[in-house]
Amino acid sequence: MESRCRLESGYSLGDFTDYPESSRDEFKELTLDVVRAAAEFSKEQMHVMLRSGTLPRSFNKYVDDVLRTRVCERWAPKYYACYNNADIKDYCELHIGVDDNGQIVGIPYSGKMPFEELTDQIYEGILRGCKIWRRRQGGRRRRRGGRRQKQYKSDFGPLNMHDIKKSCKIKFIELDIKNKAYIEFCKNKLRELLSKVEEEDKIFNEAWRKYDKEKQKVRSGIARYDTSVNCLLNGSNSDIIRGELIEKILEKKCRCSMCNKNLKVLKFNRKIFLQYDGTTKVLDSCSLLAVTRELKDEGKARWSAMKPETPRVKKTVNPIGVFGRCRHITPLLVKRDDIKYYILVMRFNPTFYGERSRAILYKDKEGNDIYGKRSSEGPYTVH
């Protein structure tokens, strides 16, 4: 078995590894804590910052949060369990700062990364997140065939920190950041994404402006019919409602005395006061109030049918998400004198426990226990 890390120093930012991702080698691209960034900056503020080339001063806090929550608490125990459960007779490595295609995108950090502190946090994360299956002596002794036998019980128990440090080696590799071709590529990609943000904002805002205008038009039409009865009751009805009421009565083709009276009232009276039987509250179908209510219902239904559909335009590029991808902001970071790029490599020895343990138990982020099985599929044994 190889005893040294396969990925050694000498790589530059943007280079490709000499070997692809496999059951022995897992690549992980580290993205920044966009949840924290979204809580501190709006999309518009982030877009202005990226366009102007300025980034938050306390940049390290976004990296530290991800290293603590994602690497130390999730990835480290997860891959420690799956590789130690894997039936692989060789060293396995987890590379953080390398994308799925094997391109080295690195982990940006302002100043020197606290290697010792991070190493201790990773080991603590493995100790808290994993348990080992052991056969332990317990219970009382029993006699069988005249012999005294020990009674054993098996269960998952805590790992030993000494064993963790022996079976998992951690290495930080500093990268050369003078790869001009990669930086230029990232600069063009960032420019392309920001232009797309502006284009999508323009389409999005125009669609919703048109929708709001049409919606307001419908609301005004509904409100005009909704208040038609009140307008007639206080004698301030508009000429449009008055004209539509006359057309409504004429459409009925009713020659009763009430209809004839209503037509005369609508045509010649300036103010119209509607009355009905206050005791029974029963309206005649030809009464002016009944006709008005019918006209109101028809008008509201007609305008409601004209309500515009909600715009289905979506934004595919979010400035906060652009900030979260380390490779996108590489041109902005390398301008700063204090920025350095690193790769974190965790090297596991799947044969360390051997027959001493049947499996390593890993607890996922939902708190579910995942029981490992002996398998040659490497990291794919843990979902």
* Cβ atoms 49, 55 nearer than 8 A: yes
| Averaged pLDDT, 95-108 | 92
Higher pLDDT, 276 or 176: 176
Higher pLDDT, 133 or 71: 71
Q: Residue 133 pLDDT > 50, yes or no?
A: yes
Stretch among 122-131, 157-166, 278-287 having the lowest mean pLDDT:
278-287
Q: Tell me the β-bridge partners of 104.
A: 98
Q: What pLDDT sits at residue 300? A: 84
Question: Rounded mean pLDDT of the chain?
Answer: 80
How many CB atoms are closer than 10 A to CB 182?
A: 21
Q: Tell me the β-bridge partners of 348.
A: 92, 168
**pLDDT band for position 277 (50/70/90)?**
very low
Cα-only R_g, the chain = 37
**How many angstroms separate the first and last alpha carbons of the chain?**
27
Best CA proximity match to 98, nearest among 175, 44, 166:
175
| Averaged pLDDT, 102-109 | 92
CA distance 318 to 310: 21
Q: Residue 358 pLDDT > 80, yes or no?
A: no
Q: What pLDDT sits at residue 280? A: 42
Q: What pLDDT sits at residue 1? A: 45
Q: What pLDDT sits at residue 188? A: 93
Q: What pLDDT sits at residue 371? A: 57
Structure-block tokens of residue 348: 């596991």
What is the tens place of the pLDDT at every residue in 182-204?
999 999 999 999 999 999 999 99
Q: Residue 378 pLDDT > 60, yes or no?
A: no
| Averaged pLDDT, 53-81 | 87
Q: Residue 4 pLDDT > 70, yes or no?
A: no
Percent share of the chain, pLDDT over 90 = 24
What is the tens place of the pLDDT at every residue in 300-318?
888 888 888 888 888 888 8
DSSP labels, 36-82: HHHHHS-HHHHHHHHHHT---S-THHHHHHHIIIIIIIIIHHHHHHH
Three-state DSSP class for residue 127: helix
* Cβ atoms 105, 97 nearer than 8 A: yes
**pLDDT band for position 96 (50/70/90)?**
very high
| 302 sits in which H/E element | helix 288-305
How many CB atoms are closer than 10 A to CB 92?
A: 22
What is the tens place of the pLDDT at every residue in 33-63?
888 888 888 888 888 888 888 887 778 888 9
